[in-house]
Each structure stands twice: as structure tokens, then as C-alpha cells.
Structure 1
Amino acid sequence: MLRAFLAWLARGLGVRVYLRPPQGTWQLLWGGPSEVPRDFPDEWAVGVRDMLDTLADPYRCEDEANLRAEQLLREQLGEDYQKLVTQGYIDVPSRVFRNTFYRLRLRRPIEVFKNGRRQPWRLCVVSIERVPAADELLMKLLWLKTNEEYVLATANRVR
């Protein structure tokens, strides 16, 4: 049953999964061991575990990359890092408009506040490649601080 499920799953994903037949299958069918060299590991479960881990979290980045990104964010934010940890967001004042600031959250669009009230639209800025959440937040922060006009001109406005 498990083999049938894994074969069905592999076909759907376009992934090759190598399953080892039970001991003695080749002797029963052909009268001797297989002479074909195998280019896969003896433990078929290793490949299945890796495949299931990938399915469980398709957006997982490497732990080392996450740690480096978190450390870089902590260094760049300084005291604001504690605000990010406790509140879940940081506010970036606008350099172009008075009484306006941008609220940055991890893996969320940029919220725009004018005169203390949230605007009905948000600015959607995403990276082309998958990056750690801390790197994405730092990218938005530095982009807003250095080139706010370009962010406003190119970001998608979503409700």
C-alpha cells in the first residue's frame, strides 16, 4: 500500500523514486540475483524522507542562510530589532510625504499609514528568488530608505 502511494505521488511530481524489492524477489522471478549495477543507495527510505521533507515545507531555506540573515538584520536594525521582535513590525518614516510612514512585517506587504490611519492599499514588493524572511524585510527597509520614489512607482498596490 505504501509503495503504491509513493509511486503515485512520484508520478504526480515527476520525481523518480527507487523502491527496493523484497529480498529474494529476483531469485523467484528469474532464478538468480540481478546483474544490473545499481546507482542508487541501498536504503530507499532516505530518498523518500528527503522527498517528503521537501513536500512538507516547499519554501524552506537552509538553516545556515536563515541564521546569517537573522544576524545581518539584527546588526542593521540595532535597537529597532527589539521592536520587531516584541511588536512584530517596524515603522519607517517617509522621506517624501509628511505624516506618512511604512509598516514592515516579515513576509507581508508594506502597509502605508498617513496621519496615523492605515491606507486601504498595501505595497507588494517580492524578490524574484526565494530568500530568508529576514533578508526580505531588510531589502524592503533599505529600499524604502534609499529610493522611496522608485518603490512607490514600481510596487504593486494590493487591497
Structure 2
Amino acid sequence: MSSLPLVIRPETTRDAEAIERLHERAFGPGRFARTAYRLREGVSHLPALSFTALVGTLLVGSVRVSPARAGGSPALVLGPLTVDPAFGSRGIGAALTTASIEAARAQEHRIVLLVGDAPYYARFGFRPVPPGRLTLPGPVDPARLLALALREGALDGVSGAVVGGA
């Protein structure tokens, strides 16, 4: 595997079109029916926590973070995390995820949620939410609903519906 001249930087408004094309290539048209997309529907992502990955001037990855409420507590939803399929398995997704988590921690957010692959996200500290503790606005495999407490005890007592928005 060769090293890429990768730059991770905050997302800008100029990135929107390239990110949408990236989402189309990576996830296809069915992405809008997924529960994770429904959770973010009508909710603007937070540019200060959303990042892009560039190789030269080519946008090859993106992660967006949106505000949410988990059982009434403020939370963040990480995703979509997208890497151009031609640039997969090169650590780009991990670099984007790390950048978002570090920015959220620096801004003193407390909880990050996502729907994703537990073995992949475990390295960042995400753990499966106990079944029935949090509910999403649509079906999801309970093993794929993951949470990360950015502060000790941030998830204590948090239960109920997860809804998009602040």
C-alpha cells in the first residue's frame, strides 16, 4: 500500500456538490430510505465537526456530524462517513472519524451516536447501545446502533427516542 498525500480539513460550502456525488457513488439511490438518513432528514450538519479528505484537489472522503437529541439529552450523529471506493482501505475513513471525534470532544460535546459496523467503530471507543435503550425513527439492527461517551458518565441514564436536531 502506497502512502497518499492526504489532507483532512473542515468541510466548506464549496464541497457540497462533490460530497453529494461521492454519496451517490458510494451508497446509491437507496441511501435515502435508510434509518440513519431519515434521522438526519431536514437537519443541517455541523460544519465545525464535519470534515473532508483530499488527495491533491480531489475530494475522496467526507464525514458529516449532525445535532440530535437522545432521550432528551443533546447528542451528535456521526455519518455519513463516505470514502470513494477507489480509495478504500487506506485509512481515510479512520482519519475522518478521528478528526470529527476530536473536534466534538474539544467543543465539549458529550455523546456521539451512529448506525454502523461495531467491529470497525470499536477502535474509536463506540459500543453497541443496549437493546431497547434508545430508539431510532425507523428499523435498525440493534447491534449497529453505537454510542460513544465523550465525557465520563455522559450516557448514564440516557434512554428514549433519538431525534434529529438540537
Shared fold (TM-score greater than 0.5)? no
More strand by share: 2
More helix by share: 1
TM-score in terms of structure 2 length: 0.24
